[in-house]
Structure 1
Amino acid sequence: MTKKIALIADVHGNIEALKNVLKDISERQIDNRDIYCLGDLVGYGPRPDEVIQLIIEKNIHSVLGNYDEAVGFYLPTCGCSIESENDRMKTKNSLSWTVENTSDENKEFLRELEEQISLEIEGYQLLLTHGSPISINDYIYENDLEKQEEIVEVLEEDILVFGHTHYPYYKKVNNKLFINPGSVGRPKDGDNRACYCIVEFGEKIDVEFIRISYDIEKVAKEIEQSELLDVFAQVLRTGRDVK
């Protein structure tokens, strides 16, 4: 007997991508109760309210992302990695626009999200968070072995599930499994399709990454017709972060 769950992350206000991903998950006969979201429902994309409402409607478990926190609590910054004045300009534009276009009711929902979820599946202990067990703003990249080893030292669970980087991967480090499902709404790995993953628990753990097509141009044009910066549309088209 095996158990399957679906992991999604970093939707970032992209309702078209989310709808297609959830449709694919449903067609694979995975129940909504077995879908887990690793945060960042909002930011950069044109439909924050619709994304939140769909997550609520489908009763999908979600943790708090750094962008969710910034919008829900009216923080001055999302805590993203800012390396230049251009990055600051992009962050300010996206955050202020998203705050203005997210309802008070949905901001309250974001404020109620937990930073971490612990659960047990088929004898395995999982910790779900947005960035890392240390901080929701912490980036864990696939090749950052030093950071992964530091986390293993404090991680009590068998599996760490997280998002934030928008790069999908899974990796075993000292008998602990790291899983990042990639980004539904804003991939950065060069493949502009929505990304999520399915984890199957049996005698061993199987992780499968799924790429889903959606109407990228529709979302990109909606961004360009809003007061969001056009560069956010280019990220969707290219599947890469545009500097």
Structure 2
Amino acid sequence: MDKTVVDLGNLNGKVLLFGGVYSNLQALEALKHIAEAKHIAPQNCLCTGDIVGYCAQPEEVVQLFKIWGAQSILGNVEIQLRDGAEDCGCDFRKGSRCDGFSQMWFPYAQSKLSKSSLDFIATLPDHIQFRFADKKFVMVHGDYFNVSEFVYKSTEWSLKQKNFDATGADAIIAGHCGLPFNHSKNENLWLNPGVIGMPANDGSPHVWYAILEEQDGQFEFTHHTMDYNYKLANQHMQTDFLPQEYARTLITGIWDNTEILPAYESGLQGFGIQL
């Protein structure tokens, strides 16, 4: 299937960047309130995909996302839901713990989503691009070539550079890996705002997002943590149909395992994130 790219043109004012809602309604409600308090227009609220995921309220999350008017690209989960696939397409190693968990939460999400929500998911583009402070930004989920590519701070720049070469972007906004970070080189920026549906393996239940602003003709970005009603999100996950390991992560801020992480990121588990 050919890639679909939505061009938003020039964006003005603050831009809210986030990813991985993961069916966590309480986190999405909290982020929407933050956007409204900061007077960030819905069309300037941009998600890197995986609106649906590990938590308990996929239908409510998609419907609130629609009502809010925020914009998102396709995550691997949305692609698989759109195509009626049998798995989440996360690229977890077959037989791994994450793969086993996905055989619980993905069918659960499929069973909960209405036709209205699936129709909305089918309208999402592969990529969004826009200009901000006279720079070109391109949004990807994993990377430009593979929606399920895990790209981290420690990932070699040569892989990231291929994305800049292919898109002509000055800055790439990415998701999928679940960890917030930024990496700059050769006047290019790779920015992952993090996800709001699960903690970042940093030992705290808070979650992460980012904000773009323009100052004196230049763009600036800031990483932010967000507190929300994670105890209620955990309570909603108390069902045999969802992995209780993920429910515990909402409370502890520690991932059940680090099998998808490179050695550097794995070694930071529980130590907090400094950005």
1:171-204, Cα deviation, whole Å (9 max, x unpaired)? 2122211111101111233132121110112333
For the pair 1:211 / 2:231, whether they are aligned, the reply is no
8 Å Cα contact 2:22-2:197 kept in structure 1: yes
Q: Distance in 2 between matches of 1:70 and 1:242?
A: 24
Paired residue for 1:99, among 106, 110, 122? 110
The two structures have a TM-score, normalised by structure 2, of 0.83
8 Å Cα contact 1:152-1:174 kept in structure 2: no
For the pair 1:175 / 2:153, whether they are aligned, the reply is no
The residue type paired with residue 167 of structure 2 is: L
Q: Distance in 1 between matches of 2:78 and 2:237?
A: 19
8 Å Cα contact 1:15-1:47 kept in structure 2: yes
Structure 2 matches for 1:14-25, cutoff 5 A?
A: 14-25=24-35
Displacement after TM superposition at 1:226 (Å): 5.2
Q: Distance in 1 between matches of 2:246 and 2:151?
A: 23
8 Å Cα contact 2:200-2:208 kept in structure 1: no
For the pair 1:120 / 2:131, whether they are aligned, the reply is yes
Q: Name stretches of at least 5 consecutive residues in structure 1 with no aligned partner.
A: none
Displacement after TM superposition at 1:71 (Å): 1.8
Q: Distance in 2 between matches of 1:97 and 1:234?
A: 18
Give 1:65's aligned residue: 75
Greater CA deviation, 6-15 or 119-128? 119-128
Q: Percent identity?
A: 21
Q: Name stretches of at least 5 consecutive residues in structure 2 with no aligned partner.
A: 1-11, 258-275
The two structures have a TM-score, normalised by structure 1, of 0.93
Greater CA deviation, 70-79 or 178-187? 70-79
Displacement after TM superposition at 1:20 (Å): 0.7
Give 2:263's aligned residue: none
Q: Secondary structure in 2 aligned to 1:224? A: coil
- CA separation of 1:226 and 1:105: change in aligned 2, threshold 3 A: farther
Give 2:252's aligned residue: 238
Give 1:87's aligned residue: 98
Q: Distance in 1 between matches of 2:21 and 2:222?
A: 19
Once superposed, which parts of structure 1, at least 4 consecutive aligned residues long, lie more than 6 Å away? none
Q: Distance in 2 between matches of 1:241 and 1:81?
A: 17
Q: Distance in 2 between matches of 1:173 and 1:74?
A: 39
- CA separation of 1:85 and 1:36: change in aligned 2, threshold 3 A: closer
8 Å Cα contact 1:4-1:199 kept in structure 2: yes
Q: Distance in 2 between matches of 1:82 and 1:119?
A: 31
1:55-107, Cα deviation, whole Å (9 max, x unpaired)? 11111111001111112221122222323343322111111111001112101
The residue type paired with residue 199 of structure 1 is: L
The residue type paired with residue 160 of structure 1 is: I
Displacement after TM superposition at 1:111 (Å): 1.5
Q: Secondary structure in 1 aligned to 2:237? A: helix
